[in-house]
Amino acid sequence: MGKEFKTFLIREAILTSIIIAIGFIIFSTFLKTYYLPVYFIILAVVSILTALFYWGLLKNSKENSVKFISSFMLYSGIKMIAYLVFITSYVFTFKEKATYFLIVFSVLYIIYTAFDVFLMYKNFKSNQ
């Protein structure tokens, strides 16, 4: 599990670096008025929760498939609750920027979820 998780972290760091660079370019040029100072916090939250989710699934993937499935459901639920707490706390605090926040969060969520699913599938396919 150690090597697989280190590989995941390296790939996630590369993805995060690319997203930071693209975000910097986009928000410093044509979407300058839509920049949110909380952008990097959103990125950090999504990145950290994705890594924790992946680590938990790797830890439980070595055991039987029933435990993996229940772990997947548990970790997915915990991650969704954490995201909902994060989203609602920001949206209710800064109502005027809620739309921009939700768009940025949704884009990052889709990118990291696709990344997570791709690597999880690749990892489990090679383990069979």
Rounded Cα–Cα distance for residues 3 and 42 (Å): 27
- CB atoms near residue 11 (< 10 Å): 13
pTM of the model: 0.86
Q: How confident is the model at residue 115 (pLDDT cuts 50, 70, 90)?
A: very high
Tens digit of pLDDT for each residue in 38-94?
899 999 999 999 999 888 888 877 766 677 778 888 888 999 999 999 999 999 999
Q: What is the biggest distance separating any 2 CA atoms in the chain, rounded to whole angstroms? A: 50
- Sign of torsion over alpha carbons 111, 113, 114, 120: positive
Number of continuous H segments (helices) and E segments (strands) in the chain: 4, 0
CB under 8 Å to 2, separation ≥6 — which residues? Answer: none
